Amino acid sequence: MTKIRKKEHIYLYFLLPVFLFGSVSFVSCKNKASDKVEKYSYSVIAEYPHDMRGYTQGLFVHDGMMYESVGQYGQSELRKVDIKTGEVIQKKSLDARFFAEGSCTLNGKIYQLTWREKTCFVYDLNTFEELGKFNYSGEGWGITTDGKSLIMSDGSSILKFLHPENFAETKYINVTYEGHALPFLNELEYIDGEIWANVYLQDYIVRINPANGKVIGIVLLHDLLPRTLRTSQTDVLNGIAYDATTKQIYVTGKNWLRLYEIKALPMSKK
Ligand SMILES: [Ca+2]
C-alpha cells in the first residue's frame, strides 16, 4: 500500500489556493457577508511524542486519554495512548483485509470506520471488545459525534449524520467554502458546536457550521511539524482531538513524530 493512497486527488494542491486566498475575482465577488471565512493562525501550547509508525486516521480524547485509529492494510489498529508519553496502553489489531479509518466514541462505544471495506466496527470503550458492526455504501474516511448523531465523511464534500444505534442516515450537509463545495473532508472533530475537519493533502483545518455546512473558519497549520522532525515516512496533517473538559485541542499527522496541543488565533483585527 503506498502512503499516498488517493493520488487522483493531487490536483487539489492547485485548486484549493483559489478558495483560500480569494485571489480570483469571481470568487470574492460572489461572497455574501455571511459567507466570510475567518482565518486563524495557531500557537503551540505543548508537544508530545507520537508513534511515527502510526498512519493516523482517527483521533479523539476520552477521560484524558488519547484514542487513535491507525490505517494501512496489515497494520490497522485501534489504540489507547498516554498523551504525555505516547505510550500505547491498549490496542486492538484489525484483520489484514481492513484499512482502519476514523473513530469516535459515544455512549460507551467506539465506532471505527474502514476505508473501502464498507464496515464500521463497534467496540466497547473500555475493553475494545467487538460489539457489532454496521455496513455502509461508499468509502469511510472520518467520523465524529455531536453527542447525539455520528457524523461521517466519505471523501466528498458531504457529511452524513447517522443514528448511533442503527447507522441510518438522518440528514446530511454539503460543506461549502465561500459557496463552493469543499471535497476531500477527512478526519473530523466536533468542537464547541462546530465540526472541524482535515482536508486530505492540505495543511489546514476547516471549521464548519453543522447547521448549513458552511465553512466559517480555517486554521492554517503550515510548518506545524518543523523540517527537523520530518522523515522520509512523514505524511500529511491528519487527526484532530478535543478534550471538552479541559478545552484542549490536539492535532497530529500520518507518521508524524509529534502530537501537538494547539490554540487557534484569529488573524483579523477586531
Ligand atoms: Ca477526531
25 belongs to a structural domain = no
Note down pLDDT in tens along the chain; length 270 residues. 333 444 334 344 444 544 554 433 333 444 455 678 999 999 999 999 999 999 999 999 999 999 999 999 999 999 999 999 999 999 999 999 999 999 999 999 999 999 999 999 999 999 999 999 999 999 999 999 999 999 999 999 999 999 999 999 999 999 999 999 999 999 999 999 999 999 999 999 999 999 999 999 999 999 999 999 999 999 999 999 999 999 999 999 999 999 999 999 999 876
Q: pTM of this prediction?
A: 0.89
Q: Which residue has the cell 480555517?
A: 218
User: Is residue 203 domain-resident?
Assistant: yes
Number of domains in the chain: 1
Q: Which residue, among 121, 95, 100, 119, has the nearest Cα to 110 in the 3D structure?
A: 121
Phi/psi at 233 (5° precision): -90, -15
Ion ligand 1 — residues with CB < 5 Å: 59-60, 189, 240
143 CA distance to ligand 1 middle (Å)? 7
Q: Tell how far the Cα of 22 is from the centroid of ligand 1, in angstroms.
A: 28
The domain of 197 spans 52-266
First to last CA, the chain: 47
251 Cα to the center of ligand 1, angstroms? 9
| Cα–ligand 1 centroid distance for 100 (angstroms) | 14
Residue in 40, 80, 71 with CA at minimum distance from that of residue 254: 71
Name the β-bridge partners of 220.
204
From ligand 1's centre to the CA of 205, what distance in Å? Answer: 12
* CATH number reported for the structural domain that contains residue 213 in this entry: 2.130.10.10
CA of 54 to the centre of ligand 1 (A): 15
Ligand 1 center from residue 232 Cα (angstroms):
25
Residue 201 lies in a domain: yes
Distance 41 CA to ligand 1 centre (A): 20
In a domain, 236, yes or no: yes
| Cα–Cα distance measured from residue 60 to residue 144, given in angstroms and rounded to the nearest whole number | 8
**Short-list 116, 118, 106, 108, CA closest to 163:** 106
